[in-house]
């Protein structure tokens, strides 16, 4: 036992605190204004009494040790900084390659590659559905040749790359192309480091589009990539449970964590069912969280998530490897909190949010650019976002000690409360039969929709202040920033696709697609096949069509 306070101490404090409260807070007025963004009521003051039940070793422990609440590594940022991983991607790969190099030259320490809407959705740039979207929201990738161009001149054996593939239907092709490109460059797969997003909720629950892969099929593809990497690309994080995007779609902090953990539980169960030992893949399951504007709630969220994941892995799945028990995560500052009004204010917003991620122990961070509510970031806004991280890292000295807020009466209490709510929600999902069921029956869609609507109402009623939007407004503001124009993409991609289709061995290409279809029929691991298939220069769109032919499509419910 290592209880934080003796019972006598607490009793004595309780008396004094009651007196103090009676004197200074005689009524409960205005209580409704003091709550977290997710609705947890906040007291005027926190004291040892609020964490009286905590046991140091059981509930806090040491960094790099159980229950990992104080951080996943013993030395945290004293040993190694978080990775400065600024999102980049637009236009054809030739253009994004330049932006990657620019960010690396300026001190970014990892690549965070985002793909354009057609690529994310599994379409070629030339598909009629891709009308007007090629090169927008990210970089356009159609074939292995594009992947070669995207990483040309970048040492992928040294730099870790995050592939923001969002949904499995994109990931299965794009990650396969990344791996195939590494093989073509002679980079051994056990040297490749990086992460792919690959989260099935992204296409089945977070965004609502008709005719997507059914939840079960999407979930299968996601697990295929995890299994493949566990066997062949051991240093790759084959999934990044995309809590960030759940949050962007409307989730509260509680839902964000509960839904990602429920998803991670489902993947773990599935892979164990496939015969894998939990410690062979769990160390590489990674997480992606939002840093929203409620500073302390976000810090509490990261800390609570670590402790809950540790308990799940230890108690439910009997994991033994320390790395399986430690929840590692990337953070992006909340895009949804950015304003189109007075856009330079977003720099301040994102800086506070990034600080919460650092105080919460993040492994890598992207800071949003100030112009993201208006357009794709310009070179200047991207650079300012990177500099925001560097100021945090080099000037503020918040990295001097590990988990500086650990032991704070307030932060620990909030961490516990948020944790209880997350666990309760997880139990609800368990009772439903797990996350895939929760998606199939539309429960999750409804939850997210309700929360998003409540958030909007809170802004419109003025209950929630957004500077520049519902307070401190400037009428007829003159936009102080230059907007980015996406370079011409479709013609460039069209030309390349035409050339490739003309020059590739059509027999080989057909055989590659047949192999994929057969693999679907035989219910084998698709990534095993697609990594080789993409070398026949088949396009992402051709692969997606083959998958949809085999698995059919699904229309998620709309609320």
- The conformation of residue 316, written as its DSSP 8-state character, comes to I
Q: What are phi and psi of 131, to 5 degrees?
A: -40, 120
Of 199-228, binders to other proteins (CB under 8 A) are: 206-211
Indicate the residue among 249 and 313 with the shorter CB distance to other proteins. Answer: 249
Q: Is residue 559 within the footprint of other proteins (CB under 8 A)?
A: yes
Indicate the residue among 485 and 514 with the shorter CB distance to other proteins. Answer: 485
Pick from 339, 347, 390, 550 the residue near other proteins by CB under 8 A.
339
Contact segment (CB under 8 A) with other proteins among 114-122, 231-239, 275-283, 424-432 equals 114-122
Compose the 129-168 pattern: x for residues touching other proteins by CB under 8 A, - for all others.
xxxxx--xx----------------------------x--
Pick from 68, 77, 100, 117 the residue near other proteins by CB under 8 A.
117
Tokens 């948020």 identify what position? 418
Q: Is residue 233 within the footprint of other proteins (CB under 8 A)?
A: no
Q: Is residue 558 within the footprint of other proteins (CB under 8 A)?
A: yes
Q: Is residue 373 within the footprint of other proteins (CB under 8 A)?
A: yes
Tokens 């139990």 identify what position? 427
Pick from 85, 99, 121, 307 the residue near other proteins by CB under 8 A.
121
Q: How far is the CB of 207 from other proteins (least distance, A)?
A: 4
Indicate the residue among 45 and 479 with the shorter CB distance to other proteins. Answer: 479
The pair of three-digit structure tokens given for residue 440, joined into one six-digit string: 């199939």
Cα–Cα nearest to 409, from 17, 15, 8: 17
DSSP letters for 361-414: T-SEEEPPPTTTTTSS--HHHHHHHHHHHHHHHHTS-TTSSSSTTTT-HHHHHH
- Total residues in contact with other proteins, by rule CB under 8 A: 49
- The conformation of residue 196, written as its DSSP 8-state character, comes to E
Q: How far is the CB of 358 from other proteins (least distance, A)?
A: 27
Q: What are phi and psi of 337, to 5 degrees?
A: -85, -10
- Distance CA(525)–CA(220), nearest Å, equals 9
Pick from 26, 28, 128, 507 the residue near other proteins by CB under 8 A.
128
Mutual angle of helices 443-461 and 253-273, in 10-degree steps: 160
**What is the C-alpha R_g of the chain?**
24
Neighbours of 522 (CB within 10 A): 7
Of 341-360, binders to other proteins (CB under 8 A) are: 341
DSSP letters for 34-93: SB-TT--B--S---GGGGTT-BIIIII--TTSTT-TT-SSSSHHHHSPPEE--EE--SSH
Indicate the residue among 91 and 238 with the shorter CB distance to other proteins. Answer: 91
Of 483-522, binders to other proteins (CB under 8 A) are: 483, 486
Q: Is residue 378 within the footprint of other proteins (CB under 8 A)?
A: no
Q: How far is the CB of 444 from other proteins (least distance, A)?
A: 14
Compose the 165-184 pattern: x for residues touching other proteins by CB under 8 A, - for all others.
-x------------------
Q: How far is the CB of 90 from other proteins (least distance, A)?
A: 9
Q: Is residue 472 within the footprint of other proteins (CB under 8 A)?
A: no
The pair of three-digit structure tokens given for residue 236, joined into one six-digit string: 């790759």
Q: What is the dihedral of CA 222, 226, 227, 229, to 10 degrees?
A: 130
Q: How far is the CB of 334 from other proteins (least distance, A)?
A: 12
Q: Tell me the CA end-to-end span of the chain in Å, nearest whole number.
A: 49
Neighbours of 422 (CB within 10 A): 25
Q: How far is the CB of 202 from other proteins (least distance, A)?
A: 8
- Distance CA(139)–CA(279), nearest Å, equals 35
Q: Is residue 120 within the footprint of other proteins (CB under 8 A)?
A: yes
User: Helix count (H) and strand count (E) of the chain?
Assistant: 22, 10
Pick from 159, 432, 469, 517 the residue near other proteins by CB under 8 A.
469
Compose the 425-464 pattern: x for residues touching other proteins by CB under 8 A, - for all others.
------------------------x--xx--x--xx----
Tokens 């637009």 identify what position? 90
Q: What is the dihedral of CA 390, 392, 398, 400, to 10 degrees?
A: 10
CB 167 within 8 A of CB 203: yes
To 5 degrees, how large is the angle CA 302–CA 307–CA 310?
Answer: 120
Q: How far is the CB of 201 from other proteins (least distance, A)?
A: 12
Indicate the residue among 51 and 139 with the shorter CB distance to other proteins. Answer: 139
Q: Are strands 161-164 and 239-242 parallel, antiparallel or unpaired?
A: unpaired
Q: Is residue 123 within the footprint of other proteins (CB under 8 A)?
A: yes
Q: How far is the CB of 10 from other proteins (least distance, A)?
A: 45
Q: Is residue 555 within the footprint of other proteins (CB under 8 A)?
A: yes
CB 425 within 8 A of CB 255: yes
- Distance CA(347)–CA(355), nearest Å, equals 12
Pick from 67, 110, 250, 360 the residue near other proteins by CB under 8 A.
250
Q: Is residue 118 within the footprint of other proteins (CB under 8 A)?
A: yes
CB 60 within 8 A of CB 54: yes
Q: How far is the CB of 245 from other proteins (least distance, A)?
A: 9
Contact segment (CB under 8 A) with other proteins among 175-183, 372-380, 415-423, 431-439 equals 372-380
Collapsing DSSP to helix, strand or coil, 326 comes out as coil
Q: Is residue 468 within the footprint of other proteins (CB under 8 A)?
A: yes
Q: Is residue 248 within the footprint of other proteins (CB under 8 A)?
A: yes
Q: Is residue 556 within the footprint of other proteins (CB under 8 A)?
A: yes
Q: How far is the CB of 517 from other proteins (least distance, A)?
A: 23
Q: Which residues would be at the binding site for other proteins (CB under 8 A)?
A: 117-118, 120-121, 123, 128-133, 136-137, 166, 206-211, 248-250, 336, 338-341, 373-376, 449, 452-453, 456, 459-460, 466, 468-470, 479, 483, 486, 555-556, 558-559
């Amino acid at each position: 036992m290592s209880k934080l306070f003796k019972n006598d101490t607490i009793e004595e404090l309780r008396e004094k605190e009651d007196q103090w409260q009676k004197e200074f807070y005689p009524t409960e007025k205005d209580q409704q204004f003091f709550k977290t963004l997710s609705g947890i009521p906040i007291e005027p003051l926190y004291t040892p009494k609020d964490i009286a039940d905590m046991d140091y070793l059981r509930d806090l422990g040491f960094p790099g040790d159980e229950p990992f609440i104080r951080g996943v590594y013993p030395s945290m940022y004293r040993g190694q900084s978080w990775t400065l991983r600024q999102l980049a991607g637009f236009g054809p790969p030739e253009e994004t390659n330049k932006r990657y190099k620019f960010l690396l030259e300026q001190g970014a320490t990892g690549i965070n590659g985002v793909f354009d809407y057609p690529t994310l959705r599994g379409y070629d740039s030339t598909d009629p559905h891709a009308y007007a979207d090629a090169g927008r929201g990210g970089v356009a990738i159609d074939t292995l040749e594009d992947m070669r161009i995207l990483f040309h001149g970048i040492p992928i054996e040294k730099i870790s790359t995050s592939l923001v593939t969002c949904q499995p239907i994109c990931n299965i092709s794009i990650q396969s192309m990344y791996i195939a490109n590494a093989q073509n460059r002679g980079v051994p797969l056990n040297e490749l480091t990086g992460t792919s997003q690959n989260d099935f909720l992204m296409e089945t629950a977070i965004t609502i589009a008709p005719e997507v892969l059914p939840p079960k099929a999407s979930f299968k593809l996601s697990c295929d990539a995890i299994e493949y990497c566990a066997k062949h690309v051991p240093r790759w994080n084959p999934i990044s449970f995309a809590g960030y995007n759940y949050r962007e779609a409307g989730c509260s902090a509680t839902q964000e964590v509960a839904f990602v953990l429920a998803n991670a539980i489902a993947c773990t169960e599935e892979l164990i069912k496939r015969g894998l030992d939990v410690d062979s893949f769990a160390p590489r399951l990674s997480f992606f969280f939002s840093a929203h504007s409620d500073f302390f709630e976000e810090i509490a969220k990261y800390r609570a998530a670590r402790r809950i994941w540790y308990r799940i892995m230890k108690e439910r799945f009997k994991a033994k490897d320390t790395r399986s028990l430690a929840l590692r995560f990337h953070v992006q500052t909340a895009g949804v909190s950015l304003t189109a009004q007075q856009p330079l204010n977003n720099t301040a917003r994102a800086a506070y949010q990034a600080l919460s991620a650092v105080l919460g122990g993040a492994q890598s961070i992207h800071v949003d650019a100030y112009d993201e509510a208006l357009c794709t970031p310009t070179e200047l806004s991207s650079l300012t976002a990177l500099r925001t991280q560097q100021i945090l890292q080099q000037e503020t000295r918040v990295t001097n000690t590990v988990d500086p807020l650990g032991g704070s009466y307030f932060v620990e209490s909030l961490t516990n409360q948020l944790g209880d709510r997350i666990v309760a929600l997880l139990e609800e999902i368990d009772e439903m039969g797990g996350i895939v069921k929760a998606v199939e029956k539309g429960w999750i869609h409804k939850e997210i929709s309700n929360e998003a609507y409540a958030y909007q109402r809170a802004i419109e009623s003025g209950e929630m202040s957004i500077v520049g939007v519902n307070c401190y407004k400037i009428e007829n503001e003159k936009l102080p920033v230059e907007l980015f124009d996406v370079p011409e993409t479709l013609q460039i991609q069209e030309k390349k696709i035409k050339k490739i289709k003309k020059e590739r061995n059509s027999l080989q290409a057909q055989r590659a697609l047949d192999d994929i279809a057969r693999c679907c029929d035989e219910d084998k691991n698709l990534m095993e096949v697609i990594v080789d298939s993409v070398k026949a220069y088949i396009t992402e769109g051709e692969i997606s069509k083959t998958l949809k032919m085999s698995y059919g499509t699904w229309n998620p419910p709309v609320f």
